[in-house]
Structure 1
Amino acid sequence: MIDLFYAPTPNGHKITILLEELGLPYRIIPINIRRNDQFLPSFLAAAPNNRIPAIVDHDFPGGTLRLMESGAILTVEAELHGRFLPAAGHARAQVLQWLNWQMGGLGPMAGQNHHFGQFAAEKIPYAIKRYVDETARLYGVLERQLTGKDYVAGEYSIADMAIYPWVLLHERQQMNMAQFPNIVAYLARMGARPAVQRAYAHGAAFDWEASLDEARLQTLLDA
Structure 2
Amino acid sequence: MTIEFHTWNTPNGRKISVALEEMGLPYKVIPVNISKGEQMAPAFLEISPNNKIPAIVDPDGPGGQRVSVFESGAILLYLGEKTGKFLPKPLIERIPVLEWLMWQMGGFGPMPGQVHHFIALENEQERAYGLKRFMAETRRLYGVLDRRLATHEFVAGELSVADFAILGWAWRHPRHKVELSDFPHVGRWYEALMARPAVKRGMEAKLD
Aligned to 1:25: 26
| Partner-residue secondary structure (3-state), 2:107 | helix
1:141 to 137, 144, 152: 144
Counterpart in 1 of 2:3? 2
Residue in 1 that maps onto 2:103: 101
- Counterpart of 2:45, as a letter, is L
Any idea what the Cα deviations from partners look like across 1:3-23, whole Å, max 9, x if unmatched?
Answer: 000111000001111111111
What is the RMSD of the two structures over their aligned residues, measured on CA atoms? 1.2
Instruction: Give the letter aligned to residue 50 of structure 2.
Output: N
What is residue 198 of structure 1 aligned with on the other side? 201
The aligned residue for residue 189 of structure 1 is 192
Residue 64 in 1 paired to residue 66 in 2? yes
Q: Which residue is 2:77 aligned to?
A: 75
Aligned twin of 1:161: 164
Number of residue pairs aligned between Structure 1 and Structure 2: 204
How many angstroms apart in 1 are the aligned matches of 2:98 and 2:58?
A: 22
CA distance in 1, matches of 2:74, 2:54: 10
Deviation at 1:137, TM superposition (A): 0.3
- What is the match of residue 90 of structure 1? 92
* TM-score normalized by the length of structure 1: 0.88
Between the aligned partners of 2:41 and 2:179, the Cα distance in structure 1 is 40
Query: Which of structure 1's runs of 4+ aligned residues deviate more than 3 A?
Result: none
TM-score by length of 2: 0.94
SS at match of 1:34: helix
Residue 182 of structure 2 corresponds to residue 179 of structure 1: yes
**Is the Cα–Cα contact under 8 Å of residues 29 and 207 in structure 2 kept in the other structure?**
no
| CA distance in structure 2 between the partners assigned to 1:148 and 1:171 by the alignment | 25
Residue segments in structure 2 that go unaligned for 5+ positions in a row: none
The aligned counterpart of 2:52 is 51
- 8 Å Cα contact 2:5/2:54 also seen in 1: yes
In 1, the alpha carbon distance for the partners of 2:49 and 2:121 equals 26
Which blocks of at least 5 consecutive residues in structure 1 are unaligned? 208-223
